Amino acid sequence: MQANVFHKLFLWLPFAYHHTSNGMEWNYLTNGKTWTDLCATGKQQSPIAFDIQKTRELKSPRIYFANYNVELKGPIFIKNNGHTISMDIPATINGQPPFISGGRLRGRYLAKGLHFHWGSPNSNGSEHTINNRRYDAEMHIVHRNAKYIDIIDAAEKKDGLAVIGVLLEIVKEPIAIPTGLTKVINAVIETPRDESNTTIPAGFSLDEMIGNVDHNDFLSYDGSLTTPLCHEAVSWTVFTQILPVSFSMVSKLWKLRDHCNHPMINNFRDIQDLNNRPVYHRFGRA
Ligand SMILES: [Zn+2]
């Protein structure tokens, strides 16, 4: 009972919105080409195609990943919301929230949830591309500016949200897949359909979702949520290094069903116009 109340409060963005303003449930059939309102008219939309040659060097300090190395306090709630698999991020076993600060961010951004975008057996499905390359999948860790009340409130503000993007690539024999990521993806067999959910014991930290990818080398720009209503509230940080994963891991995602009971595949949005926005690259160094 208590768990239910808790999880209702945690129906967090971007997937609190199942409908566009005309009442239609949105989908990925055209990878977002038919989405309306700000998704169609916005000038600071995401994802974008990163062209490393055209980035500006970011001289800011590194991003500080606070409590990312501390085990999360379980149980951890995982849900098929009809568009993706999402995981609520609880506090750590020390009772502290994981958060990020530094880089181009002002203030603290609390880690609230994570989810994935992926392709199909025949197509890659990362949202961002780097030098015209689309990767197999992309993980988003969504953070809310600590000064706002909740994620819905934060989505209305220009400095409301900060998302960390991690690109995933299938390789033949990945050396070390992060243990947390393995646990979360293994759990999706329990969430085959829209609204199905499960809990897993924690026993891992957010760093164990990301693995050894260099946290200090990243691409950064100001953009939007990549799902309706496409709020332009996101400071994006996409790690330049790619996280190697296995075929068997990503193939578990291809077997899920979406809100129409269709295969949940290719749940990524098309590349959006940059519209002269600056894109920054911070090179790996402490
Ligand atoms: Zn996302």
Cα separations in angstroms, 27 against 39, 42, 81, 83, 284: 13, 19, 12, 7, 37
Ligand 1 midpoint to CA 95 (Å): 26
Is the model's pLDDT at 23 over the cut of 70?
A: no
Q: pLDDT tens digits for 184-234?
A: 999 999 999 999 999 999 889 999 999 999 999 999 999 999 999 999 999
For the record, the structure tokens of 237 come out as 């940080």
Ligand 1 midpoint to CA 55 (Å): 22
Domain annotation covers residue 29: no
Is the model's pLDDT at 3 over the cut of 80?
A: no
Domain annotation covers residue 25: no
Work out the pLDDT band at 25, boundaries 50, 70, 90. Answer: confident
φ/ψ of 165, rounded to 5, equals -110, 135
Domain annotation covers residue 38: no
Is the model's pLDDT at 262 over the cut of 90?
A: yes
Is 83 designated active site?
yes
Ligand 1 midpoint to CA 117 (Å): 6
Residue of 18, 19, 83, 128 marked catalytic: 83
Query: Which domain does 120 fall in, by range?
Result: 2-16+44-269+278-282
Is the model's pLDDT at 2 over the cut of 60?
A: no
Domain annotation covers residue 23: no
Domain annotation covers residue 21: no
Domain annotation covers residue 33: no
Q: pLDDT tens digits for 71-113?
A: 999 999 999 999 999 999 999 999 999 999 999 999 999 999 9
- Residue 189 CB-density burial (10 A; 0-12 exposed, 13-18 middle, 19+ buried): exposed
For the record, the structure tokens of 264 come out as 């949940």
- The count of domains in the chain is 1
Ligand 1 midpoint to CA 281 (Å): 21
Amino acid at 16: A
Q: pLDDT tens digits for 4-16?
A: 333 333 344 444 5
- Residue 153 CB-density burial (10 A; 0-12 exposed, 13-18 middle, 19+ buried): middle
pLDDT for 12: 43
pLDDT for 18: 66
Report the candidate in 4, 238, 281, 6 with the shortest Cα–Cα distance to residue 127.
Answer: 238
Rounded-to-integer distance, Cα 167 and Cα 148, Å: 28
Ligand 1 midpoint to CA 201 (Å): 24
Domain annotation covers residue 26: no
Q: Where are the alpha helices (DSSP H) in 134-254?
A: 151-155, 179-186, 207-210, 247-254
Three-state secondary structure call for residue 245 = strand
CB-facing half-sphere around the CA of 186: CA atoms within 13 A: 10
Strand partners, 200: 76
What CATH number should be reported for the domain holding residue 79? 3.10.200.10
Rounded-to-integer distance, Cα 219 and Cα 27, Å: 28
The average pLDDT across 256-262 equals 96
Contacts for 136 with CB less than 8 Å, ≥ 6 apart: 118, 119, 124, 125, 126, 168, 169, 170, 245, 250
Ligand 1 midpoint to CA 91 (Å): 21
pLDDT for 75: 96
Domain annotation covers residue 88: yes
